[in-house]
């Protein structure tokens, strides 16, 4: 269990070290209705929307927040159930951190979709 925790902490630390311009956001697969926005420049617009989302994302904060909540929840359940508090706290931290990353990924995707809609696209998916 401890190697898993170490791997998780190192991964989160690596994300924290990236400045917003280097974060890995590049959502190119927005499904649009091409008949709605005739004079739009999809390549330029998706690039600009990706940059907007990149600069407003907070992967590190959401992962850390999720890890903290998961650790606290695991520790509480461990204490209530009489199980190893440290192990459950570590498992909760790992799960919460991964959940935080997933939630931020969904938020970034929705930001890009909203940006594309604001530019006149009919986003289907």
Give pLDDT, residue 22.
44
Whole-number Å distance between alpha carbons of 49 and 85: 44
Could you tell me the pTM of the whole model? Answer: 0.63
Whether 61 contacts 96, CB under 8 Å:
no
Q: pLDDT tens across 9-67, in order?
A: 545 544 444 444 444 455 566 788 878 877 888 889 989 998 888 887 777 787 888 88
Domain extents in the chain: 2-10+28-118
Give pLDDT, residue 18.
44
């Amino acid at each position: 269990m401890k190697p898993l925790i170490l791997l998780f902490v190192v991964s989160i630390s690596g994300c924290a070290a990236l400045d917003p311009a280097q974060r890995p956001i590049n959502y190119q697969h927005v499904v649009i209705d091409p008949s709605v926005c005739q004079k739009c420049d999809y390549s330029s617009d998706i690039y600009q929307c990706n940059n907007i989302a990149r600069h407003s994302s907070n992967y590190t904060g959401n992962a850390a927040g999720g890890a903290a909540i998961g650790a606290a929840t695991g520790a509480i359940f461990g204490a209530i159930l009489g199980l190893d508090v440290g192990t459950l706290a570590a498992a909760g931290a790992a799960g919460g951190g991964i959940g935080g990353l997933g939630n931020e990924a969904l938020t970034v995707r929705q930001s890009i979709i909203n940006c594309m809609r604001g530019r006149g696209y009919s986003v289907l998916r």
